[in-house]
Amino acid sequence: MKKATLFLFLNILAFSLLAQNQKISGTVSDATGLLPGANILALNSGNGAVTDLDGNFELSVDANDILQISYLGYQTQDIQVNGQSQFDIKLIEDSNILDELVLIGYGSVKKSDLTGSVSSIKSEDLMSTVVSSIDQGIQGKAAGVVVTFGSGQPGSKSNIRIRGTSSIMGNLEPLYVIDGVPIVSNTSNVGAVVGPALNPLESINSNDVESIEILKDASATAIYGTRGANGVILITTKKGKLGKPVINLDYSYSIQQINNELSMLTASQLAELGNEAADNAGVDRREIYASPINLGVGTNWQDEIFRLAPLHNVQLSMRGGSDNTKYSISGSYLNQDGIIIGSDFEKGTFRVNVDQKISDKVKVGTNINLNRNTLNGVITNLESAIPSSITSWALEFNPGLPVFDENGNYTYNNNTSNPPVGNPVEDAVRTDQLSQSTRITGNLYLEWEIIENLKFRTFVSGDTYFNKEKSFIPNDVYRGQEKGQAAIANSEGLNWLFENTLSYNNIFGDHKIDAVLGYSMESYKNEFLFVSTSDFDDNRLGYNAIQVGAEKTLLFNGTSARQLQSYLGRVNYSFKDKYLITISTRIDGSSVFGEGNKYGVFPSMAAAWKIYDEPFLSNSDVISNMKLRFGIGRVGNQGIQPYGSMGLLSVTEAYFGENDIAKGSGPGTLSNADLKWETTDQIDFGLDMGFLKNRISLTTDIYFKQTKDLLLNPLVPYTTGYRIGLANVGNLENKGIEFAISSVNIEGKNFRWSTDFNMAFNKNKITNIERGEGIPAPPMLGVNGWSILEVDEPIGNFYGYESDGVIQLTEDPSQVPYFVDYSPSHGDRKYVDQNGDGILNVDDTVLLGNANPDFSYGMGNTFEYKNWSLMVFLSGVYGNEIANFNRFGLESFDGLKNNSATALDRWTTINPTNDYPRANADPRGSNTFSDIQVEDGSYLKVRDITLAYNFNTDLLSKMNLASFKLYLSMKNSFVLTNYSGYDPEVNRFSEDPLMSGVDFGSYPTARLATFGINVTF
Amino acid sequence: MKKFSYLIFTCTTILILVSSCDFLEETPESVINSNSFYKTESDAIAATNAIYDYMTVGTLGIFDEGFGGIFFNDFWVFKDILSDNCKETITSAEYQDLSEFKFTPDNIRIELYWEDLYKTIFSANIVIDRVPLIEMDELKKDHLVSEAKFIRALMYFEAVRLYGEVPLLLYETSSIGEASVARSDIPSIYTAIVDDLKYSESHLSSSFRVGNGRPIPEACTALLAKVYLEMGEYQLSSEYAKTVMNSGAFFLWDDFADIFKLDNMNSGEIIFAANFSGTQSQGFKPNQYHVRLLPPMIYENGRSEGPKNAWGWEIPTDDLYDSFNILDRRREATFISSFTYSDGSTIDFDPHISKFWDREKEPEGNNTDSDVVYMRYAEIFLIYAEALNEMNNGPNDEAYGAINTIRKRARFNGVEEQPILPDLSGLNYQDFKDAVLLERRLEFVMEGHRYHDLVRMNKLVEKVTESGKENIAVSEKHKVLPIPQREINLNPKLTQNQGY
């Protein structure tokens, strides 16, 4: 046997040495002329070339080699060499994208051979809505993929949900795999800075991305086992291509602006409101409101904090390659000011991708990405019982105060507001909130074709980050509470992966087999440190010398680690290229699982039938493709915190006498040796159709996803010594339907119009949470139970009172059902006493809405006319509600803070409206959560309009340029919505399913106007 | 080709080597896994120290509704608002309902008290089970177990008096099923309490970890006297009380007003106090004496003087205030009804309880270093008097002697004895019993006694009804609290008390 193998090797070796003996040359052209940049690959010898600027190529081949000529957008052609030496090859344009390769994790398949549900986004589609990170490009591009941003602060993190929310306490985000490296995406702030965490996807340059594949159904994601439940996003970066170095330079300059400002009261209007509120509450009028008319318009604090903000983005790349070496190097620099003063974001990346052929059988390669991000933030999204955000403060701050007093100092106390807030301009400018991240991601692979059709690949990768947070509040800024405070936090982590796969593919007559078998080990460890001090006498050194603070306030550090060990396998089998079957299994062992449950098995099966290839359809004029898909599989979610299954001890502190601090270790968490992954079973039916030679293509999928063993913290009897114990107890389900349609509407000589449209419906339902009364969201502004997870209900329900107009003069207020601690008067808002018991209490709350849209959609239109192209991309959601907690402050009508201009329409004896209550300085009952705060969140956004002009190649070739493009674009330029806040695309606590769909003092998203220039040498 | 074969071989070997070590083993580095703990003397001490934290403040976050152990506030708040002594001004229904006897099994305070009792018991059980297995000095080992047993006894004594029959867990449970047991009968619970206290009494060391909030042998003796009295074992109760008196371990201050001075914490009259420190905990873990009891008006008067962050949530009923002789030193030391600012101006207000406030040491009251007194020596005299009266169906000379010692001190105003509260004599059984009840009321305002005294002497409904407290709905069922509904929901073996 050994001898035979050796013989085979020698034969192959001899053959390859002997065969490489002929030089050929030629041209490649299309209907309009010669094509530069077309790829020519000799299949036997493996040599390749790229046509030059004039469409010429030269290549060494075997005498009986086969040339494969490919070019994006054209049909690939195979031509026998047959001793010929001159070739003039004409490529035919291809609207058939079915032969594109699609990555599926540990391999790739032709799009036409896909059995699972996978959405592909190509670089050019992605970039249309990207400002700096690729997740910005995904929204609306793939059916069933919903992206939300908890904050519009540049550099902040997104949240992506694929086919609904599949967990409550586990991971909610999909797994990101960049060039085979699963990246750590759940990094969060240690806490020195408050507000949104840095987006881990900012670590790569979006221009480096070649394509994104989104694996949605279980048959596609089961190969990722315990990390597949939320879908998998595979990101492939651009590799070098055969041919001369191609250098590309792109520079763009953008101006960003707030979409809309909210209409607020002027200083004199607020004073009038304040006086009326005081009178109605029977308290003294405030001195500052003594003469409303003299106050005039006052300061528009929104104008003071928002600004026109520039953004510079430079990209430079060089790609090329010879027969044996292909390389791609690129760098980028982005400098973005935020639309709120005092906030900005800076990002630099550097990437090298190299692939080297060592011999005919062995290939090695590496990808290395370096990144440095600096996010300079302002206070938004601070968790607190009161609105603690620059944006909330700017809305509430007294317009009667100037930014600076007569001495040029910031005005300090806001004597209207209770609790008082500081000057928002001063806070934005003078406090520091800095996050810095340095990240190195790299991998190394070796691929060895052991024998023909059998490949071994070993892959090592590392993803390491160093994050730093720094904050400082000077002692004379309001939030410094006369002491000032500083905090520094570090966190760093390393994720390494060692993966070995064997892949085999072959064709035996009608049978085609493509199989992969693998083993992988992965380990992640992170550590963090936090220190803070307060009581600063001197503000000058800030966070650079926190020891200036006299009082050490907090100090902690920690570390955690997790490991994953996996075995995986997949077989793709097709018969007559018509009947396809995929079977895959992954066995994942994870350190975070309990002792009794270390390994989980995640199998899947999928089948597809290419109906179009059956004789009865293949002659159809209308239908040009038809494929039926079915997939079923099981995936997991290992979103358990490390050591979650263990009984951990808490550090305790008691005191013996006045001086003896007795540190101790007492019971902290209840151990659960049976703790395991959450399991999601999913069934998917799909249909792919093509019409009119695939000028129109349609993909539709119906899925049903059932998640069991949800990780929850159910209550346990106190006699255990604990209140809760982490356990696998809940169930939920998601079901939905998705459509994606692509069509070339007009294809003329000079004009082309194509449309991509997608739409997805998802329904979510909790089927079991093993806890009688549901899981309430944490209170917001003192409102309890505004959102509750309940059995047979979807995640994200809002509950509250149903408003019923205002108590009018014709009514007797004492007869109006009300809360026990408040006697209403004329002009107070009424609520429906649902159970008719004469008082308002929690029994009268009703379902007010849900944060999940009924459906989401996106539509891109591309118009090309000669050298011009115009891209218009729209996306939106429909049928969701937003809990707008800003309205408690904006419509308090208490005169204690500035209010929305709706206060002008408040109830008075001469304006007996039913829309708005009276002014009232008595705050009781004012935090009633009702349908007033729950608003329709549906929107349609024009995300991108890009107009580009490509200069003529004739002209360019004289200047030695391959291409030259100018473009203008507008992003987020227009929103159609009924929502009253800054932006309906808001999700303040997007990382927490208990608190979906909240707007509360977030950093608003910006609109951008961009001018850019793109040159290729 | 050979080169690569080697490479592959090496890779595979590394792979096998690495994966054969316990790759998936979890070894936390910055938190402690209970499985790897309880191995050394310092582990034993750390585990024992933890019990005190659960008993006083606990490990829940400061914004958690369950923040604070039993001594943080509810131990002393419950006993006086569930009586004729105090009423609630806090607006939240949970305390109002307790004060007005309208609570249900869903009352969150009743539930959280149960939580704190069982968390403390659980942490004590860990010490009692695990420390004996640690190789260390036997005396120290016995001492730590004795500390745990003392506290466990104290917790079960609270539990049995408040809830009646309760689950009796005397070992460390490790699963939900194991901890979901039925209620034990009252005699079994008292047997366990007595066993624990007797063990502690004879095993507590006099040289290792003495006092300062930790039990000493005499504290066990004293608590046994109290437990036996509650059990109706009057002979034993009087004997144990006598032993405490003869031990010389404690003394009575001449002046009632000295008892709660910060300088006198953990000494003199204090038999056992849960230690707190506002200073050492940097304001995170002081008890709530001053926050809840002191009057808000002094500071709120715009003067920035007097107790800060005081709310006056529990205030005395008129019935309590009026039951003091106007010259009784205890009235002056227990209540505050006016305040003189530094500029000489004064403010008057309704009486508030200020007995725990050392005005000189902590003029702001807030963030106090004061300890919560569980038992002090004066109680031994009153236990002794009560037990003797019960034993002999009437007071004897010793019983009179005991109660009159307490009355004598109350006559002393810091300078001289006042012509009030004459020594008692010539009382029959019932009159003496009533006298003891009254004396206990005057002596122990807000010290965690009144509810138990009224229940023990079967006067709860009568006294609360007579007190003139408003809106009350007291009835015989209130001699015990309901078992928290949450616990019944989670442990089907539990039954509810009669009437709830």
The CA distance from B493 to B498, in Å, is 16
Burial of B256 (0-12, 13-18, 19+ CB in 10 A): buried
| Strand ranges in A713-750 using DSSP code E only, listed in sequence order | 727-747
Q: Which residues of A touch B276 (CB under 8 A)?
A: 655
Nearest residue to A169 (alpha-carbon basis) of A454, A798, A592, A609: A592
Q: Is A123 helix (H, G, I), strand (E, B) or coil?
A: helix
Note whether residue A676 is domain-resident: no
The string of pLDDT tens digits covering residues B158-195 is 999 999 999 999 999 988 999 999 999 999 999 999 99
Residue A288's CB: how many other CB atoms inside 10 A? 16
The answer to whether A643 contacts B33, with C-beta atoms less than 8 Å apart, is yes
Q: Is A910 helix (H, G, I), strand (E, B) or coil?
A: coil
Residue A838's CB: how many other CB atoms inside 10 A? 10
Chain Cα centroid distance, residue A248? 27
Q: Is residue B370 less than 8 Å (CB to CB) from chain A?
A: no
Q: Which residues of A touch B32 (CB under 8 A)?
A: 648-649, 665
The number of distinct structural domains making up chain A is 1
Structure-token match 């601690």, residue found:
A821
The torsion of the CA quartet A218, A223, A224, A225, rounded to 10 degrees, works out to 70
Task: Tell me the three-class secondary structure of A322-365, residue by residue.
Answer: CCCEEEEEEEEEEEEECCECCCEEEEEEEEEEEEEECCCCEEEE
User: Which neighbouring-strand residues pair with A569?
Assistant: A517, A585
Q: Which residues of A touch B37 (CB under 8 A)?
A: 649, 665
Q: Which residues of B touch A660 (CB under 8 A)?
A: 212
Q: Look at the alpha carbons of B228, B233, B236, B240 in this order and tell me if their dihedral is positive or negative.
A: positive
Residues of chain A with pLDDT under 70: 1-21, 31-33, 72-73, 93-99, 381-387, 413-420, 771-773, 924-926
**Contact by Cβ (8 Å): A884, A935:** yes
Residue A644's CB: how many other CB atoms inside 10 A? 19
Q: Which residues of B touch A647 (CB under 8 A)?
A: 33-35
Q: What is the CATH number of the domain that holds A25?
A: 2.60.40.4130
Burial of A800 (0-12, 13-18, 19+ CB in 10 A): buried
Q: Is residue B189 less than 8 Å (CB to CB) from chain A?
A: no
Among the partner-chain residues B8, B173, B486, the one whose CB lies closest to the CB of A720 is B173
Note whether residue A26 is domain-resident: yes
**Contact by Cβ (8 Å): A684, A115:** no
Note whether residue A58 is domain-resident: yes
Which amino acid makes up residue A306? Answer: F
CB burial of A604-634 (b: ≥16 within 10 Å; e: otherwise) equals bbbbbbbbbbeeeeeeeeebbbbbebbbbbb
The answer to whether B173 contacts A721, with C-beta atoms less than 8 Å apart, is yes
Which residue ranges make up each domain of chain B? 36-215+479-490, 291-355
* Radius of gyration of chain A measured on its C-alpha atoms: 31
- The tokens describing A495, both together, are 């994720």
pLDDT bucket at B419, cuts 50 / 70 / 90: very high
Note whether residue A621 is domain-resident: no
Residues sharing a CB contact under 8 Å with residue B75, sequence separation 6 or more, in sequence order:
B158, B372, B374, B448
Structure-token match 């419906």, residue found:
A761
- Give me the mean pLDDT over the B384-399 stretch: 96
Q: Are strands A998-999 and A881-884 parallel, antiparallel or unpaired?
A: parallel
Half-sphere exposure of A261 (CA within 13 A, CB side): 18
DSSP code, position B2? H
Q: Which residues of B touch A663 (CB under 8 A)?
A: 46, 49
The answer to whether A456 contacts B490, with C-beta atoms less than 8 Å apart, is no
The answer to whether A660 contacts B276, with C-beta atoms less than 8 Å apart, is no
Q: How far is B304 from chain A (nearest CA, A)?
A: 17
Which residues constitute the domain of residue A47? 19-94
Q: Is B190 helix (H, G, I), strand (E, B) or coil?
A: helix
Count of residues in chain A:
1017
CB burial of A473-494 (b: ≥16 within 10 Å; e: otherwise) equals bbbebbbbeebbbbbbbbbbbb
Nearest residue to A255 (alpha-carbon basis) of A812, A835, A970: A970
**Contact by Cβ (8 Å): A267, A297:** yes
The answer to whether B122 contacts A721, with C-beta atoms less than 8 Å apart, is yes
The share of chain B scoring above pLDDT 90, in percent, equals 80
Q: CA-nearest residue of chain A to B53?
A: A654
Q: CA-nearest residue of chain A to B3?
A: A362
Q: End-to-end alpha-carbon separation of chain A, Å?
A: 54
Which amino acid makes up residue A176? Answer: Y
Q: Which residues of A touch B127 (CB under 8 A)?
A: none
Mutate to test the interface with B, among A649, A672, A677, A924 (most CBs of B within 10 A): A649
- Asked which of A466-470, A950-954, B225-229, B314-318 is least confident by mean pLDDT, the reply is A950-954
Note whether residue A721 is domain-resident: no
The CA distance from A549 to A534, in Å, is 5
Note whether residue A54 is domain-resident: yes
Q: How far is B437 from chain A (nearest CA, A)?
A: 32
> Residue B200's pLDDT is what?
97
The CA distance from A90 to A29, in Å, is 5
Task: Give, for B242, the enclosing helix (H) or strand (E).
Answer: helix B234-247
| Strand ranges in A391-478 using DSSP code E only, listed in sequence order | 432-451, 454-473
> Residue A269's pLDDT is what?
95
The CA distance from A455 to A861, in Å, is 42
Query: May I ask the CATH class of domain B36-215+479-490?
Result: mainly alpha
The CA distance from B260 to A702, in Å, is 73
Nearest residue to A556 (alpha-carbon basis) of B30, B491, B117: B30
> Residue A63's pLDDT is what?
76
The CA distance from A169 to A993, in Å, is 8
The string of pLDDT tens digits covering residues B13-64 is 666 556 655 788 888 888 888 888 999 999 999 999 999 999 999 888 777 8
Count of residues in chain B:
500
Alpha helix locations (H) across B21-107?
41-56, 74-81, 93-99
- The tokens describing A18, both together, are 């002997």
> Residue B367's pLDDT is what?
85
Q: How far is B50 from chain A (nearest CA, A)?
A: 5
Q: How far is A644 from chain B (nearest CA, A)?
A: 10
Q: Is residue B471 less than 8 Å (CB to CB) from chain A?
A: no
**For residue A42, what are the CA distances in angstroms to A24, A70, A90, A105, A109?**
11, 11, 17, 27, 21
The answer to whether B275 contacts A592, with C-beta atoms less than 8 Å apart, is no
Residue A179, sorted as left (phi over 0), alpha (psi -120 to 50) or beta, turns out to be left
Q: Which residues numbered 194-233 in B keep a CB inside 8 Å of some CB on A?
A: 209, 211-214
> Residue A771's pLDDT is what?
62
The torsion of the CA quartet B388, B391, B394, B400, rounded to 10 degrees, works out to -10
Q: Which residues of B touch A667 (CB under 8 A)?
A: 34, 50, 119, 122-123, 126
Interface pTM, i.e. ipTM: 0.94
Alpha helix locations (H) across A66-204?
123-126, 135-138
The answer to whether B369 contacts A666, with C-beta atoms less than 8 Å apart, is no
Residue B106, sorted as left (phi over 0), alpha (psi -120 to 50) or beta, turns out to be alpha
Q: Look at the alpha carbons of B167, B171, B172, B175 in this order and tell me if their dihedral is positive or negative.
A: negative
Q: How far is B178 from chain A (nearest CA, A)?
A: 8
Q: Which residues of A touch B66 (CB under 8 A)?
A: 723
Q: Is B38 helix (H, G, I), strand (E, B) or coil?
A: coil
Residues sharing a CB contact under 8 Å with residue A38, sequence separation 6 or more, in sequence order:
A28, A50, A51, A55, A57, A69, A70, A71, A74, A91
The answer to whether A666 contacts B173, with C-beta atoms less than 8 Å apart, is no
The answer to whether A653 contacts B30, with C-beta atoms less than 8 Å apart, is no
Q: CA-nearest residue of chain B to A658?
A: B277
The CA distance from A231 to A227, in Å, is 8
Q: Which residues of A touch B285 (CB under 8 A)?
A: 653, 655
Q: Is residue B309 less than 8 Å (CB to CB) from chain A?
A: no
Q: Is residue B22 less than 8 Å (CB to CB) from chain A?
A: no
Q: Which of A171-180, B92-101, B304-313, B444-453 is modeled with the greatest confidence? A: B444-453
DSSP code, position B175? S
Q: Is B106 helix (H, G, I), strand (E, B) or coil?
A: coil
**Contact by Cβ (8 Å): A20, A62:** yes
Burial of B443 (0-12, 13-18, 19+ CB in 10 A): buried
Residue B297's φ and ψ, nearest 5 degrees, are: -65, -30
Mutate to test the interface with B, among A356, A530, A719 (most CBs of B within 10 A): A719
Q: End-to-end alpha-carbon separation of chain B, Å?
A: 84
The CA distance from A345 to A592, in Å, is 35
Residues sharing a CB contact under 8 Å with residue A868, sequence separation 6 or more, in sequence order:
A947, A948, A949, A950
User: Which neighbouring-strand residues pair with A947?
Assistant: A870, A968
